[in-house]
Amino acid sequence: MDLITAELLGSSGQMGRAAVKLAQARRQLTDGSPAGLVQGVHRTEILLLCGQEEYGPPLERAITAYEELQLNPRSALPAARGPLFAIAMVRLAQCRLARGDRAAALALARTAVSRLRVARRTDVQRAYARIASADLLILEGRARRALEVLAGVDPVFEPDAPLVVFEVTRVRARALLAIGGTDAAARQAAIALRLAEDNGWPLRAVSVSTEFAGTISLDGPPRGPSSGDGLTASLTPRPVTIGSGPGARDEARPAHERLRALEQIGATAARVFEPEELARTTLDEAIRILTAERAFLFLADEAGALAPYLGRDCAGTDLTELTGYSASLVEKVHLDGELLVVTGTEHGAALGAQSVVLHGLRSIMVAPLQLDGRQLGVIYLDSQVAKGIFTPEDAGILTALTHHIATSWETARAARLEISVQSAQHQRELAESLRLALEGMTATLDPQQVLTRLLDSAITLLACSGGWLLTAEQAQPLPLVGPPVTGTEGRVPRVLAAELSSGAPWIAVPLCTSDTTVGVLVLSDGDGLLDTKIDVAAALASQGVTAYERATLFAQVQRLAVEDELTGLANRRHFFSVAERDLAAAARHGRPLCALMIDIDHFKQVNDTHGHPTGDDVIRVVAQRLQELTRAQDLVGRYGGEEFVVLLPETQSGAEMATRLLKGVADTPVPTRTGPLSVTISIGHTRSAPGAESLNDLLARADRALYAAKHEGRNRAVGD
């Protein structure tokens, strides 16, 4: 299962996650492993390395291991023949990159292409054989013949096999460039680049940009009409960003992943005093979120010297030997105090880290562990298989984690160790109180309750005479950045002036998440000792903000789990859950219930004429009108695309509601970003049958009625 997942992740551009799955499968290999498993590991490794265009020793070792299996290309299973195209394209690429006498490289390429031709069985395999043959012809100086071979690739592959189209356009661009067709080659290269971007293949996109940017312009749309060179399109290549596209993390994912990580680490920090357990949780969460293979934690002693403390792998086990990492990069980050990302062995070598090359480390990210300007240590992550898997988003996540880890680590150590001989008992009581306060804040997932508990805990823990939690707007006169500050009445908002008119000292602690300001915690006391409590207030506020951010993100995730993001209606899953309950209740009590299936008429024309953003405006406004025109007890959901579904409890016939909805949508043009549009809908309605009828059967009848309404001319309602 790990191998299948690795191949699927690799094909979608998620090389980091694919590498983790491959590493897990490789650990399962033993001397007695089935031949199919051994073959699958070598096959998957070849495909992943080729997908990253890694043509060095790691790939050669994988190819050698695969070829030692002595598989017959004619009789091997389809999956076993999979790497043959990848190997052929690698040999062809090595021949292109060879300097001086390339006869040996060309011989290897011819052998690989020949094996691929023998193995072809399916249409896709035949297409790949033609692509490799054409690429070989270019190397042999027969570019025009290569174009003839590529012309034989069936165009039916366009929608169904984007990788075939990508390879065809890339090789065709090479052939056209070889015969002097610069403009035509530019068009083909632009198509290949757009395919790579749209399908989430960032490394392939970088490869196209690198290969053709030096000889032809990819800065603008192709000029002129097609000149008979095959697939053409008017494309403007976009800048390539590793980690973008469908295969990579989207914008919502880091927030969701960070929520889970901070929740886990925060919960652990609140209930344990053992730093080693906190360290394990930290490293495991970093590996899981950032798809690394290994993670190390290095801690600085009192003299500032750095030493390895703990190592974990992607299987969730301790590393018995803390070796095989780049010590020079770890030391560099410790001294500089700045996060470092290494995207490949060649990058590591350029930084002077020879151990990167020695250990075959192909992706590295190292971050300092800091608190209040002090260097506590370093967190190090790496991968030996995936190249360039760490992105700027990953760096942001790791930075947020290290900040939280440093605070939690210090809290755990403070709860465990005596701060000083004179205040040992006080520190133990303070640590226990802080732990209980954190436990209380993390026990709720309501953001407002988190803030309420933060304020109550601060007043109680610091023995304050008063406390206020101001929103960001209320707190504008107060400093919102930097360390906690003490102040006098002149800098306090007027809402607090009366409370602090006695001139009592106060402190203000900014409550800032990673991307916004929640507000300010203001604490007052008449004993004049608040200055000695600033550090405790800051630590408590930091943990409170973390709990607030976690609760906020959790609330967002909960909302998205039941609500359609575009329309705000019940999403399909939530609609089915509630509708099945209502249908069962209606059947149990013998009450009437109706269902409506609704479709926006000629919606494809809206998208084709005005674009998808305008189409989204139409869907959003129609959904709003459906919600406004139905009753409070009715259930309205987005069924999919431009289709909606309505459940009407306690209703004998859906005809009256259907007429009301038709009129409500059609009578007023829909405002969109491209101007008002006249929009109509078609409706199919039906009533639930007596007895135990499934929701699927009920909706199927309504759907048939909807089909009849559209067949009869649209902008009408038909009952079943």
Q: For residues 450 and 432, give the distance between their C-alpha atoms in angstroms, rounded to a whole number.
A: 19
Q: Half-sphere exposure (CA, 13 Å, Cβ side) for 617?
A: 18
pLDDT in tens, 22-55: 777 776 767 667 766 777 777 777 777 776 666 6
Q: Give, in degrees to the nearest 5, the angle at Cα 139 between 135 and 143.
A: 70
Q: Which residues contact 587 (CB under 8 A, 6 or more apart)?
A: 688, 690, 691, 692, 693
Q: For residues 164 and 445, give the distance between their C-alpha atoms in angstroms, rounded to a whole number.
A: 48
Q: Average of pLDDT values for 151-172?
A: 77
Max mean pLDDT among 273-277, 469-473, 685-689 falls in 685-689
The two tokens of residue 197 are: 């971007």
pLDDT grade for 656, boundaries at 50, 70 and 90: very high
Confidence check: pLDDT of 239 > 50: no
pLDDT in tens, 340-397: 888 765 666 656 666 666 666 778 889 898 876 788 889 998 887 666 677 766 777 7
pLDDT at 70: 64
pLDDT in tens, 516-567: 777 888 887 756 566 667 777 787 888 788 778 777 776 666 665 678 888 9
Q: For residues 470 and 496, give the distance between their C-alpha atoms in angstroms, rounded to a whole number.
A: 10
pLDDT grade for 636, boundaries at 50, 70 and 90: very high
Give the CA distances from residue 631 to residues 360, 657, 660, 718, in Å, rounded to whole numbers and listed in that order. Answer: 65, 10, 12, 21
Confidence check: pLDDT of 78 > 60: no
pLDDT at 701: 94
pLDDT at 544: 80
Contact call for residues 276 and 311 (beta carbons, < 8 A): no
The model scores a pTM over 0.85 = no
Of 167-176, 313-322, 634-643, least confident by mean pLDDT is: 313-322
Confidence check: pLDDT of 428 > 80: no
Of 376-385, 407-416, 662-671, least confident by mean pLDDT is: 407-416
Q: Half-sphere exposure (CA, 13 Å, Cβ side) for 306?
A: 21
pLDDT at 376: 85
Query: What is the DSSP code string of 661-699?
Result: HHHHHHSSPBP-TT--B---EEEEEEEPPSS---HHHHH
Query: What is the DSSP code string of 177-244?
Result: HHTT-HHHHHHHHHHHHHHHHHTT-HHHHHHHHHHHHTTS--SSPPPSS--SSS------PPPP-TT-
Confidence check: pLDDT of 305 > 70: yes
Of 136-150, 254-268, 441-455, 701-715, least confident by mean pLDDT is: 254-268
Could you tell me whether strands 593-600 and 506-512 are parallel, antiparallel, or unpaired per DSSP bridges?
unpaired
Side chain identity at residue 709, one-letter code: A
pLDDT grade for 231, boundaries at 50, 70 and 90: very low
Q: Give the residue with greater pLDDT, 25 vs 709.
A: 709
Give percent above pLDDT 70 in the chain: 67
